[in-house]
Chains A and B, each alone.
Chain A
C-alpha cells in the first residue's frame, strides 16, 4: 500500500447502529503538516481519530498511517503515532511522575533518556513541582497538562491531539502551541488536531478540514476557506459551512429547535 500522505482516509464509514458517525470521508495529511480537523459537537471528529489510532474498526473504507493500513497492520500503525485523547486517560492511583514513567516504558522510550525527558516535559507544562502527587489530587487543567506532556514523551512521527486545549488557561495554550509548532518544524512531526477554538485553528493549522454530520464539507487553508465562502474570518467561514444552529444530534428532525438555537446564537454574539 503506498501513499504520499502521513495520514490518509479513503472512503471511510463508521456506523453505530442507526447513527452514521462518519460518512464516506476522504482526506490526506502531508508529512510534517499541521492539520486541523474542525466540526460541531457530534460531527465525527473523535470517531475518525479513534479509527486512525486503532481503537475502533471502520465499518468500511481504509485508513492509512505512513502507508500502513491501520486495521490490517495495527502493530506498525501503533509504532508511528502518539495521541492525546479527548477524554481523560490517566491512572489516578499513580503519581504524575509514575504516569510519565509508565508511558516511557510502555512506549519504548530509551531508558537512558527517561529522567531528562520526563523532567523537561513536566517543566514545560509547569508540573515538575507536583511530580510526586497522586493524579487523583489534580485539578482538571493539571490533568490535561499532564496528558499533553505524556503524549509528547515518545516523539511519535504523527501526533493526534483531540481537543488538547480544552479547559486550559491561555498561558498554557500558548506554551503548548509554540512547542507543537517547533516539533513540526524541527522534527517534521505531523500534527493532526481538533479544537473548538477557531482562532487557534486559524493561527496554528496549515490546512483545515471541516466535518459535519460525518461528511467533510470543506477543506483547504484558512484563506481558501474564507475565499470559498466569501467571508473574512475562519469563524465566519465555519459558521457558513456548518450552519448557526446549536448542534443537536438529531437536529435534522427538529428544525424548529434549530431555528431557536440559531436565534440564541445570534443574540449571544
Chain B
C-alpha cells in the first residue's frame, strides 16, 4: 500500500511541477471542442441532428482521456531514458505494484484533465441532461482513464524510444480516435465507417458517456458497460504482461 502511494505521489508531484504539460494536454481537447463545436455546429443542426456541442462534449472527454493516458505512457519511456525506472524496478516490491502505483498516478492525472475539460465545456454552454446520472458518468470516466493509462503503459513498455512511440501515436492512436463515434454520430455514415467504429472499443466508451451525460446513444448502455469492463481487463493484463518483461 505504502509503495503504491509513494509511486502515485511522485507522479502527482511531477505533474504539478511541469506546468507546460498541464496546459499542453488540456489545451488540445479544448481547441477541438471550440473549433469543431462552433465550426460544425450549424451544419450539424441543419442536418437535423440537434445541438452539436451537446453531442461533442462526451467525445472530447474521451479524447482527453485517450491522449492523456497514452501520453502519460511516455513517462515510462522518460523514466527508462533518464534512469529512474531502474530505481523502481529493482525495488523489493512486485512489479505489478510498481505498475499499479504509476498507473494510478496516470489515471488521476487523466481524470483531473477530463474534469477541467468538462468545466470548460459547461462554461461554454454544455448542459448535462440529467445531473443525477453524472456520478455514473464519473465512474465510467474513471474506468476509461485506467484502461487508457494501462494501454499507454503497455505500449510504452514495448517500444525502445520516442520515435517508436511517435509511430504508434500516428498509426494507432489517431486512427483509433477518428474512427470512433467520438466526433460524429454513426447513423448516417457509410457502412465501412460504421463497421470500423463498431469494432472500435472507444466507440463504446464514448457511447456510455453519451448515455449518462446527454441521454441516448448508438448502442445500449449495458452493451457499452460490458465492452468497457472487458477492455479494461484486457488492457490491464496487457500492461502487466509488457511491464513484467521490461529490461533496462
Chain A residues closer than 8 Å to B83, beta-carbon distance: 85, 87-90
Does A257 count as interface, using CB distance less than 8 angstroms?
no
Chain A residues closer than 8 Å to B87, beta-carbon distance: 89-91, 103, 106
Measured between alpha carbons, how far is A98 from B13 in the docked complex, in Å?
A: 10
Digitize B1-27: 1 where CB-to-A-CB distance is under 8 Å, 0 elsewhere: 011011101100110011000000000
For the complex, would chain A's binding face be called helix, strand, loop or mixed by DSSP majority?
loop
Minimum Cβ distance to chain A for residue B246 (Å): 9
Chain A residues closer than 8 Å to B93, beta-carbon distance: 78, 106
Interface size class of A (residues with CB under 8 A): 20 to 34
Between B5, B7, B248, the greatest number of chain A beta carbons within 10 A of the residue's beta carbon is seen for B248
Q: List 21 A-B contacts (CB under 8 A).
A: A55-B86, A55-B89, A56-B248, A78-B90, A79-B92, A83-B90, A88-B82, A89-B87, A91-B10, A91-B14, A91-B87, A92-B82, A93-B18, A94-B10, A98-B13, A102-B10, A103-B87, A106-B88, A107-B91, A107-B92, A134-B17
Measured between alpha carbons, how far is A101 from B10 in the docked complex, in Å?
A: 10
Does B170 count as interface, using CB distance less than 8 angstroms?
no
Given A78-B90, A108-B92, does the pair A91, B84 have CB atoms closer than 8 Å? yes
Q: Which 5 A-B pairs have the closest CB atoms?
A: A89-B83, A105-B6, A79-B92, A78-B92, A106-B91
Measured between alpha carbons, how far is A78 from B92 in the docked complex, in Å?
A: 5
Measured between alpha carbons, how far is A81 from B86 in the docked complex, in Å?
A: 14
Contact of B248 with A93 in the complex, beta carbons under 8 Å: no
Does A236 count as interface, using CB distance less than 8 angstroms?
no
Does A54 count as interface, using CB distance less than 8 angstroms?
yes
Instruction: List 12 other contacts, CB 8 Å, given A78-B93, A94-B13.
Output: A54-B90, A87-B83, A88-B83, A89-B86, A89-B87, A90-B83, A91-B87, A93-B17, A94-B10, A103-B87, A105-B3, A105-B6
Given A94-B14, A106-B7, does the pair A55, B2 have CB atoms closer than 8 Å? no
Contact of B6 with A102 in the complex, beta carbons under 8 Å: yes
Digitize B69-99: 1 where CB-to-A-CB distance is under 8 Å, 0 elsewhere: 0000000000000111111111111100000
Contact of A57 with B84 in the complex, beta carbons under 8 Å: no
For the complex, would chain B's binding face be called helix, strand, loop or mixed by DSSP majority?
helix
Chain A residues closer than 8 Å to B187, beta-carbon distance: none
Measured between alpha carbons, how far is A103 from B3 in the docked complex, in Å?
A: 10
* Chain B residues close to A by CB (< 8 Å): 2-3, 5-7, 9-10, 13-14, 17-18, 82-94, 247-248
Measured between alpha carbons, how far is A108 from B7 in the docked complex, in Å?
A: 13
Minimum Cβ distance to chain A for residue B96 (Å): 11
Measured between alpha carbons, how far is A102 from B87 in the docked complex, in Å?
A: 10
* Chain A residues close to B by CB (< 8 Å): 50, 53-57, 75, 78-79, 81, 83, 85, 87-94, 98, 101-103, 105-108, 134
Chain A minimum-CB-distance residue to B88: A106
Chain B minimum-CB-distance residue to A106: B91
Chain B residues closer than 8 Å to A87, beta-carbon distance: 83, 86
Chain A residues closer than 8 Å to B88, beta-carbon distance: 106
Minimum Cβ distance to chain B for residue A149 (Å): 13
Chain A residues closer than 8 Å to B85, beta-carbon distance: 89
Measured between alpha carbons, how far is A56 from B13 in the docked complex, in Å?
A: 30
Contact of A106 with B6 in the complex, beta carbons under 8 Å: yes
Minimum Cβ distance to chain B for residue A17 (Å): 14
Minimum Cβ distance to chain B for residue A137 (Å): 13
Contact of A56 with B10 in the complex, beta carbons under 8 Å: no
Contact of A93 with B92 in the complex, beta carbons under 8 Å: no
